[in-house]
A and B are shown apart, each in its own frame.
Chain A
Amino acid sequence: MGFLDYLSEPSNRSVLYEQAIEHVALTAAAVAIAIVVGMVLGIVAHRNAVLRPPIVNTTATLLTVPSLALFALLIPVVGIGFKPALIALAMYALLPIVRNTVSGLGSVDPAVTESARGMGLNARQRLLRIELPNAWPVILTGIRVATQLTVGIAAIAALVGGPGLGREIFRGIRSIGSPFALDSLLGGTLGIIVVAILFDLLYTGIGRLTTSRGIR
């Protein structure tokens, strides 16, 4: 009964709501940075066989650094708060986007690129009009995975003074033993699940709208 009481308390609800908005904003900002950087890196890696291994390996290595450590490592560099959280999350989100951009572009039928070349499309036109649209479903899957990853890891951001639902979770952790600790933990966690589901629905919609019927 305790958790329902917690949820029905307007002040708790508005905290959760506010933190959920922060969480979404933090995730969206981190993923947006990761999309831009990740797709550029992915395109470079696709085009340049020499740069491909260092790019893919570096982004893969980033993902293996424990999140807590990465957040902490950034504090001396950029201080505490929104910034270190954003930078660390963007780094985590990079790998799925880079990897899927490379594999998406790599899976475009060579006959398609050859005929595009044979028709006189230059490298930029081929990339924008032919290769990216065909690789898009794979890239979008990478972005989706990156987003789910970010939504989860963003909870840790509260430890370095970052925003989001992690704050409610850590309030619960700090007050463990008190009667309300579990409510806060549950509230924050549930909020994260809801945010994750909403993002997923959004991606399903985006996927529908932005993927050509010809390659669905």
Chain B
Amino acid sequence: MTDVMIELQELTKVYPGTTSPAVDHISLQVPRGEILVLVGPSGCGKTTTMKMINRLIEPTSGEIILDGENVTHMDPNQLRRRIGYVIQQIGLFPHLTIADNIATVPKLLGWDKDRIRARIDELLDTVGLDPDTYRDRYPKELSGGQRQRVGVARAMSADPDVMLMDEPFGAIDPITRTRLQNEFLRVQRDIQKTIVFVTHDIDEAIKMGDRIAILNEGSRIAQFATPEEILTAPANDFVSDFVGAGASLKRLNLSRVRDIAIRTDAPTATADEPAGAIRERLLGSDWTAVLRLDADGRPQRWLRAPDLRREDIDLSRAGLPAVAMVEPQATLSDALNEMLVGSAGVAIIVDGRGRYQGVVDIDTIITSIKRMVDENADYYRLAKLGDIDGRETVGA
């Protein structure tokens, strides 16, 4: 066991018939269990770099070390069975059921039937699809978002240590994309895969990456750093241009809901409580509404005092629907977005199964923004001082 899971040494690709390399001597290391995002403008060589890791593209020169083992010349099919692979177009096998799609690699590896069946159900569960509903469906019977979940499940089927993901959420509408990103981060917290994730969207890079490699033409690394560093200390003009305006606002993507103060003091009511008891609880709190949960503990309605005046009212329809729900790994940007879309003053925090965890209000988020702005101001003041120091050194 080494701490470096993937290592690229001077990896280079010159496509036949071209003179300038698509990937020019890239060297990098990905620590075990981390997500490395390769981000950069179109055509800079992200896909080529990634596909050399599972040798879908054979490198012209350089070495690929996986978990301490040089795999540059091993049998590519054996190698690929150890590496999960997700592409933007997903490429589910249309003639196979969802279960058989997921079972492909385990079957190649000769797993027994029971183990494969158990694994399929486990994975469908993991990516948030009910096994009984989806197992026997065909890809064409799924929505785009559901297909992408199956694509991820299929890539994880044989429990590979390494996953390669090329713009996996690129072709999905923004709302579903946010949801899939959050779910994937939640899953990743448990499975701790080593992931190389390609995107051309800097916001997605900041959100998904433990580390980010910003690539320039020829896959040359313009900066290799944590998202925080990239936002606060861009290495050069190329990086700051690529990160673009609103770097401090982008930092909302760095903080997760779970990292800020979640309020758990909001009054809640269970599905079987009568209106009177709920009303009393509400009046005894300093809140203007109580959150009614359904039998499974999922937020259902916000009820205000007038909604609770009569005993015979149907509480599952009274008040306002509970909206703006986010999971703990959602970013502050997601939470803020949900609040704005739902016109709610608070976002409700729910776990992976949709059960109530707490709320976060808009004031808390604004406090966080303010703190970031202050920190940024500090940073720029310091950077300026540093710059002056630098000039003095040069002049001396």
Contacts and interface: CB of A to CB of B under 8 A. Distances in A.
Contact of A212 (B81, B96, B105): B96
Mostly, the B contact residues are: mixed
Interface in A16-44: none
A116 interface: yes
B134 to A, nearest CB: 13
Interface stretch (A4-12, A60-68, A117-125, A188-196): A117-125
Interface string B139-177: 110000000000100100000000010000000000000
Contacts of B80: 117-120
B95 A133 contact: yes
Nearest to A213: B138
B81 A120 contact: yes
A125 B78 CA distance: 13
Interface string B78-111: 1111010101011111111100000011001000
Given A118-B85, A120-B108, A214 B56 contact: no
Mostly, the A contact residues are: helix
B95 A215 contact: yes
A134 interface: yes
Interface string A83-121: 000000000000000000000000001011111111111
B108 A121 contact: yes
B81 A214 contact: no
Contact of A119 (B81, B89, B94, B96): B81
B236 interface: no
A171 B79 CA distance: 67
Given A118-B85, A120-B78, A214-B139, A125 B93 contact: no
Which interface class (under 10, 10 to 19, 20 to 34, 35 or more) fits A? 20 to 34
Given A120-B81, A121-B108, A112 B91 contact: yes
Contacts of A213: 138
Contacts of A125: 108
B77 interface: yes
B54 interface: yes
Contacts of A122: 77
A121 B107 CA distance: 11
A111 B167 CA distance: 13
B138 A214 contact: yes
A133 B100 CA distance: 14
A135 to B, nearest CB: 10
Nearest to A137: B95
Interface in B55-73: 56
Residue picked from A109, A125, A134, A214, most chain B C-beta under 10 Å? A214
Interface string B326-357: 00000000000000000000000000000000
B105 A119 contact: yes
B56 A117 contact: yes
Nearest to A123: B77
Contacts of A118: 54, 56, 80, 83, 85, 87, 164
Contacts of B138: 212-214
Contacts of A113: 91
A24 B62 CA distance: 62
A56 interface: no
A114 B88 CA distance: 11
A114 B94 contact: no
A215 B105 CA distance: 21
Nearest to A134: B95
Nearest to B138: A214
Given A121-B77, A121-B108, A114 B95 contact: no
A116 B93 CA distance: 8
Contact of A215 (B89, B94, B164): B94
Contact of A120 (B90, B92, B105, B140): B105
A55 interface: no
Interface string B215-241: 000000000000000000000000000
A114 B91 CA distance: 7
Given A109-B89, A114-B56, A115-B91, 15 more contacts: A111-B90, A111-B91, A112-B94, A115-B85, A116-B93, A118-B164, A119-B81, A120-B77, A121-B108, A212-B94, A212-B95, A213-B138, A214-B140, A215-B95, A215-B140
7 contacts: A112-B91, A114-B87, A115-B91, A117-B80, A121-B77, A121-B108, A214-B97
Would you list the 4 A-B pairs with minimal beta carbon distance, nearest first? A115-B91, A214-B138, A120-B80, A111-B89
